[in-house]
Amino acid sequence: MTGAPNRCYLLRYLPRELERSRRYNHPLAIISCDIDYFKRINDSFGHDAGDEVLQALVVRSRTCIRQTIDWITRSGGEEFVLVLPETNLNGATRIAYLLRKVLSAQPMSTCAGPLAITVSIGVTALETAQELKSISAAELLRTADRCLYASKRLGGDRATAATANDIGTVMPEVFRRAHSEIH
């Protein structure tokens, strides 16, 4: 429906990306993205409008990533995961803020009229040989989700980044600095 592969695809191919990153000792980043207050869109404007917002999100998201190497999946409801091979945390954080800007820059066209959205984003990456060796694909996804939930708890419309090893701190200085650059 969205034009993006589903969670089954993510769970099948993310471990392969991780293995490739391990083999060549290249970083691997993921971005978890969730539309803020999406239920309100469905409740107020109908599921057709909600579906069009999801489709537009995928189209706009693809403009922020490398078409030949990066990929996006719908991991559930209004949540999407972008997989960024050969990308470190700083690079992924820059992409996350570009993504946030692109998605909120102009309303999305729907059958109910233009609808403005914001997103909450979680960003994580494996950069060192030790991280690549010791952290699983499932742990990588959990870290991105924890960062995403931190963004939600802070009011949404922002990105939070952390390495899997630093998840306890959720690197508030990273999102504060980048957040202030955007506003």
Closest CA to 83 of 3, 7, 160, 177: 7
Task: Give the residue carrying structure tokens 């494996």.
Answer: 126
| Whether the Cβ atoms of residue 165 and residue 89 lie closer than 8 Å to each other | no
> Is-catalytic flag, 78?
yes
Report the alpha-carbon distance of residue 55 to residue 4 in Å, rounded. Answer: 9
| 16 sits in which H/E element | helix 7-24
| Whether the Cβ atoms of residue 18 and residue 83 lie closer than 8 Å to each other | no
* CA-CA-CA-CA torsion sign (42, 93, 178, 99): negative
Given 52, 78, 79, 131, the catalytic residue: 78
| 83 sits in which H/E element | strand 79-85
Alpha helices in 25-86 (DSSP H): 38-45, 47-62
> What amino acid positions are annotated as catalytic residues?
78
